[in-house]
């Protein structure tokens, strides 16, 4: 097995990333979201995992906001995709860790994710409700999580986190 390299997405990666997301999520929804975010969201942090010259994973971070806390720089982690035949081999974990490091380096204070608690807890994510935060969608409390990259920055603000408008569809 070749080593996995993680690098920033390039313009040439777009078709492969679309295909990867279709495959990983068994449909176009997430792939179309990635395409919309690429066109509309700034700043955008997009990393790919490459093995043997082929893209096997992808993670995307896009701007998010919290009303009344314009001092906080938030990013939403979504989506993350790993080629189905390469899932369970640590590629997703490597992408999450590299992504969090890149977000910290980019000056992002907080990353939010709507995902599987059992997976994201190992990266220091905790339920956002501990800070009085919620997302716009009806989801289980433990599924909407955040990770402070600058410790103690959220406090007890409370409120609704808004993802980039591209999440609302075309």
Digit-coded pLDDT (tens) for 6-33: 999 999 999 999 999 999 999 999 999 9
CATH number at residue 93: 3.40.630.30
Domains held by the chain: number:
1
pLDDT band at 1 (very low <50, low <70, confident <90, very high): low
- The Cα 120–Cα 112 span in angstroms is 10
- Residue 11, domain extent: 5-168
CB-based contacts of 69, cutoff 8 Å, min separation 6:
157, 159
Pairing between strand 110-114 and 74-82?
parallel
Of residues 121, 126, 98, the one with CA closest to residue 110? 126
Per-residue confidence (pLDDT) for residue 169, from 0 to 100? 81
- pTM, entire model: 0.95
Integer Cα distance of 94 and 120 in angstroms: 12
Query: Alpha carbon 23 to chain centroid distance?
Result: 18
């Amino acid at each position: 097995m070749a080593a996995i390299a993680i690098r920033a997405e390039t313009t040439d990666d777009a078709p492969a990333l679309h295909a990867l997301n279709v495959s990983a999520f068994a449909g176009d929804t997430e792939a179309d979201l990635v395409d919309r975010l690429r066109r509309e969201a700034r700043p955008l942090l997009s990393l790919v995992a490459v093995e043997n010259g082929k893209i096997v994973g992808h993670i995307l971070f896009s701007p998010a906001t919290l009303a009344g806390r314009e001092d906080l720089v938030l990013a939403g982690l979504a989506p993350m995709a790993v080629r189905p035949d390469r899932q369970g081999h640590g590629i997703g974990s490597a992408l999450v860790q590299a992504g969090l490091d890149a977000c910290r380096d980019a000056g992002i204070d907080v990353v939010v994710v709507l995902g599987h608690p059992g997976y994201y807890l190992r990266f220091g994510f905790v339920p956002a409700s501990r800070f009085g935060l919620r997302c716009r969608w009806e989801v289980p409390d433990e599924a909407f999580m955040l990770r402070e990259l600058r410790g103690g920055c959220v406090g007890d603000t409370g409120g609704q986190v808004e993802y980039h408008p591209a999440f609302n569809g075309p």
